[in-house]
Chains A and B, each alone.
Chain A
Amino acid sequence: MIMKNPNHQPTASAEENLHRKLEAIDKRDGEVKAFIEVYREESLKKAKEVDKRIKDGKAGPLAGLVIAVKNNITVKGKRLTCASKMLENHRAVYDATVVERLNAADAIIVGSVNLDEFACGVDGTYSALQRTKNPLDLERVPGGSSAGSGASVAAGMCDAALGSDTGGSVRCPAAFCNAYGFKPTYGTVSRYGLADLAMSLDQIGIISKDKAVMKRVFEVIRGTDPRDQTTQLADAMLKKKPAETKVIGVPKEFFEGVDKHIATGVKKRIKELEKRYEVREVSIPTLKYTVPIYQLTMAAEFSSAMQKYDGLRYGFAAERNEELYTSFAKARDAALGKEIKRRIMIGTYITMKEFKDAWYSQALKAREVMKEEFASVMKSIDILAGPAMPTGPWKFGEKMTQLEMYAADMLTIAANLTGTPAIIEPLSSDFKDGAIQFYGRHFEDDALFHID
C-alpha cells in the first residue's frame, strides 16, 4: 500500500513522501516553474489523514502517492487557468471525475501544473502565464502541452502527474523529460472536468518515472462515468483480458524524418525485443497524412470547444456597455493567445458551408481510412513500435517554423486519431537518446505495461 518513491528510498509514511516532494518544489520550482498553484495546506492535511488510515489498515490503493494535475483538469475551488488570460482568475466549481477518484483512493494532489495555453502546443512555450523549463537541462524545452506534468515528474516534485493528450501532449513531455508517458485507449478515462481541446481526440494520460505507479493510477482513474458518455463501453471492454503479446510490428513510416541517433537507438531497442517477440516490418500508408488529418480535425473541434468563452459567465469579463458581438470579439481578442486564435480561425473556416467539403469532410474520410488500416494491421500484430518523438527537446529560442512545430507530433498523433492506447519508454537515463513508443489494441492497455 505504501509506494516507494521513484528514487527508491523507502518511505515510511505519506507525510514523509509529501515532505520530500515539497522540498523538491521549494528547492527547484523557482527556476523550473512547473507549478501554477501548490496546494500546500490541503496536501499536508490530507497526508496526515492518509497516514492515519494506513495505520488503521483502511487506506485506498494510491495511499500516500503525490500527484500533480495539469491545469486544464478541474479541482474544485482551485484556479483552473488553462494557462490562459481567459481563465487566469477562474476557480473551478467542481472536481473532475479523475480528481474525485484520486481523492477517494487517498492520493495526495499536491498542486496544478503548467501547460501550453488550452493545451495547444508542443513545447510548453505557449503558456500565457509562465515558462516551464526542462529540469534535465534548463536551457531546453520540457515538451508540451503537458509541460508542467513532465517537468514536475522529472524534478522529483511528484510521483506521477496527470496530463492530457490530444496529439501527443502527454507523450512528448514524457520523452523530453525522460519519463514514462501513457495515453489510454480513447474512452477509458472520463473527460468530465477536462477542458476540451478536441473532443474526439483528447484523453487524460499519466507521466511517471515508475511504470508500476503509472499502472496503479490508471486502474484508479479509468472506467465508465455517466458524466462522460464516451466512456460507456469502458467497464465492459476493460474486463476482457488482453491477448498475450507475441508479434511486434514496426511501421516503416515511423522512421521517416526522425533524427538519426534516435532512430538508431530505437532500432537497437527493437532488436533486443526480438529475443522475446516476433518482430515484423509493416506499412501503414495513411501515416503519411497524420499531421494534416490531425490539424484539420483538431482545429474544427477546437473552434467549437472555444465558443463558450464569450466573457459573460466566467473568466475574462467582456465589456458590458458595448454592442453584443463587439464585446464578445474584444474579450476573445484580448484574452486568447495567438496560437489559440489561429486554431479557432482555421477551425471556423474549414467548417463553413462553402469550404467544408474542400477540407474538413476530406479529413473525416481520411481518418476513417486510417482507422481501417490500423484495424487491418492489428489483426495479426499485437503491438506497434517506433520512436516517440522525431527529435529531442530543442533549446528555447531555437528557430522553428509553425509547420515544423506541428510536424513534431507526427509519430504520436495516430494514436489519437485511431483511439489506440500508447506508451513511451525512455531508452536510457539521458533524454538526448530519445524514447521508444508502443501502440496497442483498443482496450488492451494493460499489455503496454508489460513489454520488456
Chain B
Amino acid sequence: MVNVVIGLEIHVQLKTKSKIFCSCPTNYRDVEPNENLCPTCTAQPGSKPFGLNKTALDNLLKIALALNCKIKDSSIIQRKHYLYPDLPSGYQRTSKPIGAEGNLGKIRIREVHIEEDPGRYELREGTVDYNRAGIPLIEIVTEPDMRSPDDAREFLDELAAILGYLDVAREEPGSMRADANVSIDGGTRVEVKNINSFSGVVTALAYEIVRQQNVIRRGGKVIMETRHFEEGSGSTTTLRKKETEEDYRYMPDPDAPLITVKQSHVAELGKKMPELPRAKSARLSKDFGIRPEDAWILVAEVEIADLFEKMAKKAPPQKVALWIRGPLKKQLNYRELTMKQSGLKEEWLSELFEMFETAELSDKAMEQTLIALFDKKKSPMKIATELDLLMDKDAGEIDKVIETVVNENPKSVDDYKAGNEKALNFVIGNAIKLLKGKADSKLVRELILKKIKEKK
C-alpha cells in the first residue's frame, strides 16, 4: 500500500452584488466583454481600491464559521506581485488569514483568506476580459490530512454541501478553482494547478498518484514541480519551467484598509447560521430512525433534506429515504438538476409516493409518472390517469391471472421448488405480461408464492 499525503487549496467566488474593491456589478457571465469596468478594477493610473466589500467579508466569515475556524480580530490586505495580462495592477490583492485552525470532519483547515479574482485571458486569441477582475474569492487552505482521492472526494462533497446551505458562494461552472498538493511514500510534493471542478480534483489526484508511482517504479525520482491539470484527458503535465522560483514580493497594501472583525458581529452571524449538513444528518437519523448512510445522502442538498422531513412526517421514513435516494435522485442526476432547479413540489412527490406505497402504481408506472412529472408539473394522479398507468384495482382479475400462470407453467413451478430462482422470474414475467404491466412486480411475486404454497 502506498502512503499518500494530500493537501488542497480551494478558491471559490463569493456571491456579492459588487466587486471586492469597487462598485462594478458582478454579473460577468451575462454581459459583453469589458462592460463592467471602472478605473479601480482596470488599474487606471491614479485609481485606488474602495473599502472591502462588506458582503464578501460576511460571506467569508460564514464559511469560516462553518469550517470551525478561529476568527481573527484583524487582518491586512497584501500585494502579491507578478505580471500577467489578466492582472490589471501587476499585483493581486490578497489578505492574510482571517480564519484559521478549523476543521471539516477529520481534515484540518489551516486558514481561509480573501482575495480578488483576475480577469479572463484567452491565450489563443490574445484577448483579455476584465469583467471578472475584482470578483471576491475565498481561499480555503487545508492541512495535508487527506490520504487518498476518496478522502478528497468526501471532503469536497461536504464542502460543496455546506456552500449550498450557506448560499454565499457562486455555483456556476468556473466559479471554483483548486490546487492540489500530493506526495507518495514521504517523497517530494508535487503541486497540480488549473483544476476547475470538485470532480476534477479527484481525477487529478488519482492520475498524479499513479504517475508518481510509475516514476518510482522505473527507478526515477519525483521532481518537485508545479503541474497543469488537463481536463480533457484527465492527466497532469509539466508547466513550462521558469528560470527562477516565484517570488511575489508580498507587501502590505498601503491603499487598502485594515480588515477589522468584531467578535460580537461574528457571534451575530453564528446565531443566524443554518443547521449544517453534518448536524442535520445526525438529527434526521436520530429523529426519524433512518440509517446514517441514507441521512448523509439526503443532506447533500438542503432542499432534499427538507423534502425528506416533510415527506417523512406522512409516510414511513426509511422507505421515504430509500425512495428519495433511489428513484428520485436517479431522475435528478440524469437531468443534471438540483432539487431546487427541478421545480418539483413536495405535495406532488408525497402524492406520488403514497400512490406507490398503496399499490395504486406499480414500480414501473411510478417511474413513468415521475418522469412525466418533471415536464408536466401537476398532480401525479392526473398524470397517471392521463397516461393510463393506474393499477388494476380488481383483486379478482389479478387472482385469475395468477391462477392461470401457475397452472400453465408447472415445470417452472417445479424448477423453482427445486431451488431455481430464475424459474420463478419467468412465471412472474408471464403474469405481468397478462396484466398489461399494471401490476407491481413485488406484489405479483408474493401472490404467486402464496398460490404455489396453496397448491402444495
Contacts and interface: CB of A to CB of B under 8 A. Distances in A.
Contact of B46 (A80, A313, A320): A80
A314 B51 contact: no
Contact of A200 (B43, B79, B249, B254): B254
Interface stretch (A186-194, A255-263, A433-441): A186-194
A182 B338 CA distance: 63
B90 A310 contact: yes
Nearest to B44: A93
A229 B49 contact: yes
A168 to B, nearest CB: 19
A226 B388 CA distance: 67
Contacts of A227: 40, 48, 50
A87 interface: yes
Contact of A307 (B50, B83, B85, B257): B83
A351 interface: yes
A325 B83 contact: yes
B251 A300 contact: yes
Given A307-B89, A307-B90, A192 B83 contact: no
A157 B44 CA distance: 30
A92 B254 CA distance: 23
Interface string B57-92: 000000000000000000000010101110011110
A191 to B, nearest CB: 6
Given A308-B90, A348-B249, A199 B255 contact: yes
Contacts of A199: 253-255
B48 A228 contact: yes
Given A308-B88, A324-B85, A90 B45 contact: yes
A194 B89 CA distance: 15
Contact of A193 (B46, B51, B256): B46
B47 interface: yes
Contacts of A352: 247, 249
A194 B249 CA distance: 24
A94 B247 contact: no
Nearest to B123: A324
Contacts of A80: 45-46
Contact of B251 (A73, A193, A351): A351
Interface in A44-88: 72-74, 80, 82, 87
Contacts of A230: 254-255, 257
B226 interface: no
Contacts of B49: 229
Interface string A185-208: 000000111111001100000000
Interface residues of A, number: 44
B42 interface: yes
Contacts of B43: 308, 313
A313 B45 contact: no
A74 B50 CA distance: 17
Contacts of B282: none
B105 interface: no
B33 to A, nearest CB: 14
Contacts of B47: 94, 192-193
A304 B128 contact: no
Contacts of A314: 44-45
Contacts of A175: none
B91 A353 contact: no
Given A229-B49, A308-B90, A320 B44 contact: no
Given A228-B255, A324-B85, A308 B247 contact: no
A322 to B, nearest CB: 11
A338 B45 CA distance: 20
Nearest to A196: B46
Contacts of A406: none
A232 B51 CA distance: 10
Interface centre among A74, A82, A308 (most CB of B within 10 A): A308
Interface of B: 39-40, 42-51, 79, 81, 83-85, 88-91, 126, 128, 247, 249, 251, 253-257
13 contacts: A90-B45, A92-B45, A193-B47, A199-B254, A199-B255, A229-B49, A229-B51, A304-B249, A307-B81, A308-B45, A308-B88, A309-B90, A310-B83
Given A199-B254, A308-B88, 6 more contacts: A195-B45, A228-B48, A304-B249, A306-B90, A307-B89, A308-B89
